[in-house]
Structure 1
């Protein structure tokens, strides 16, 4: 299962294909890799399809907007081919449509790779893996982890503040000036609460002997196993096979240059 893969190796396995896909400007390559990611996601993890679609569906609108803007305002490098139609005085060419669709598919690939990582990775294990495998300083990782843990409590405090204001007869204001005043009423108490929490966490960590040194022992020791390298090879190797297939079929396009 993907959830048991070492988080650092998983992050590298997601990051490298995401960067490599940024070089392609054809439709065939990102489309095949998007299908490949979906197969890996739903065959090697226990992510519910409904949950995945809930996070993924808003990005369809974003991808469609990227494609539309690219089609309308593609530069000369990507405006090759015959003119398909004209809209608002802009000539829509075959190359601009291909480039726009390629950008949309690449965006969906980035989103699906991100969801594959985010929905199968425990945040605590990820921070521990960054310390143990990537040698990131503990001061940075523990600080990020502490801030991440504070987010749910800030949401609860925000709701408490809203209810307290309603009880005291302070209603939601209209207009820009009213919104700024409302933001001030909420931000100052939340900022003060955040400072108090940060001080308590710092004191607690100091009292338990946390000095931020790199050489430290860990209760949960994470290791890199054979399955982690196999997963890395799967995602990168899958992209390499798709690149080769796209090249031999004549679809591969790198930065507007057809191969």
Structure 2
């Protein structure tokens, strides 16, 4: 029998959410658009949805967002879970909650759905509650158009190149965001090291609390070392010494971005004109 203990594999680094994504099918058109176009296109609809009170308008925009997402981004299990489980379940939960909070004196002329003792649930309260749930679900779905098809560096580059945001602000924010996957990898390494040394073993809430307190100091030390390396790298590249910098990766605004924004605005206007929610109570 060998005295050498089996070697355990080193923890794999978590996926970097800001890394360049693999090339997708040409049908998945959202990945090829400028990030600002994907933000500007649904923004007017999201602002309008804050002020509408009917259920048909947010339902129409929710369907529009679903169509754009199902066509424009890669269909994965996570996307299916978000679109067909998380958003509908949240809309139902929020709608029912707002139905309970609706002032009964404003809807007591509507049909009675059920009555428990002296408490009555009116159909008007359900309409108000589920209209609110649909409105919030539509706003979230519209934000996913940009959220599911944009990576952090491209958004920062677009704001610097098209919106003229100072690069000192943009790239500093990007460096801060990139700390997140780094912290995940550091935490993985610390957990593996503690497990090898048998530190803070056991089960239960007290052991878990002790383990987490044991992660704090090495995690902070790693964060400080990483911040120092980033600061030295930025100083070595004369970050902030000049009013602008040469961009290695350009994120241009193309004709297709303009077409997408105008087409989305046109469809939004057609939906609003057809439904005209402002005439409803």
- TM-score scaled to structure 2, two decimals? 0.79
RMSD of aligned alpha carbons: 2.4
Q: Which of these residues, 188, 198, 201, is aligned with residue 171 of structure 1?
A: 201
C-alpha spacing 1:87/1:234, structure 2 compared with 1 (3 Å): farther
- Which runs of 5 or more residues in structure 2 are unaligned? 1-28
Task: Give the number of the structure whose alpha-carbon radius of gyration is greater.
Answer: 2
- Structure-2 change in CA distance of 1:227 and 1:138 (3 Å): same
Partner of 1:14: 42
* Alpha-carbon offset, residue 143 of structure 1: 2.2
Q: 2:112 aligns with which of 74, 79, 83?
A: 83
Q: Would you say 1:40 and 2:76 are equivalent positions?
A: no
Give the length in aligned residue pairs: 250
CA separation of 1:89 and 1:192: change in aligned 2, threshold 3 A: farther
- Which residues of 2 match residues 120-159 of structure 1 at below 5 A? 120-159=149-188
Q: Cα distance, 1:227 vs. partner? A: 1.7
Deviation of 1:24 after TM superposition, in Å, equals 1.4
Correspondence for 1:52 among 64, 71, 79: 79
Q: Is the 8 A contact 2:90 2:137 kept in 1?
A: no
The aligned counterpart of 1:193 is 222
Between Structure 1 and Structure 2, which shows a larger proportion of helix residues?
1
Is the deviation greater in 157-166 or in 79-88?
79-88
Following the alignment from structure 1 to structure 2, what is the Cα–Cα distance between the partners of residues 218 and 151? Answer: 24
Compared CA separation, residues 137 and 77, structure 1 to 2 (3 A): farther
Q: Which has the higher contact order (CA 8 A, sep 6+)?
A: 1
Asked if the contact 1:173–1:182 (Cα under 8 Å) also holds between the matched residues in 2, the reply is: no
C-alpha distance 141-83 of structure 1, shift in aligned 2 (>3 A):
same
Q: Unmatched 5+ residue regions in structure 1?
A: none
